[in-house]
Amino acid sequence: MTQILDANRTKVSSQIKQHKLVAILRLKQQGDVAPLIDCLVNAGINALEITSNTPGFEQEIAKARAAHKNALIGCLLITSLAQEILLNRSLPGWLVT
């Protein structure tokens, strides 16, 4: 399992470097997430982090990925290996701790 997570970290790190800019979204209201993501992606910002303390961050990441297939959207700061494993199962593709 560790090798898979390490390979994923390497891949995502490379993608983040290509974008050169990551918008970090930390919001108090879950309903504010989607409109902000739409605005940022439409402005050309295609690497976005939704922090894990944003309400409903898992659902918002999934919705944003479905709406913006060419954008890199995920969560960078995961505080435990267990949380990383669980989140990676539901939202594969972007977990770098």
pTM of the complete model beyond 0.85: no
pLDDT by residue (tens digit) across 6-43?
Answer: 666 677 777 777 878 889 999 999 999 999 999 999 99
Residue written as token pair 């919705």: 63
Q: Is 36 exposed, middle or buried (0-12, 13-18, 19+ CB in 10 A)?
A: middle
By the 8 A CB rule, do 68 and 47 touch? no
Domains and CATH numbers, the chain: 14-90 (3.20.20.70)
CA distance 37 to 60: 10
CA distance 16 to 47: 7
pLDDT by residue (tens digit) across 38-60?
Answer: 999 999 999 999 988 899 988 99
pLDDT by residue (tens digit) across 83-92?
Answer: 555 565 555 5
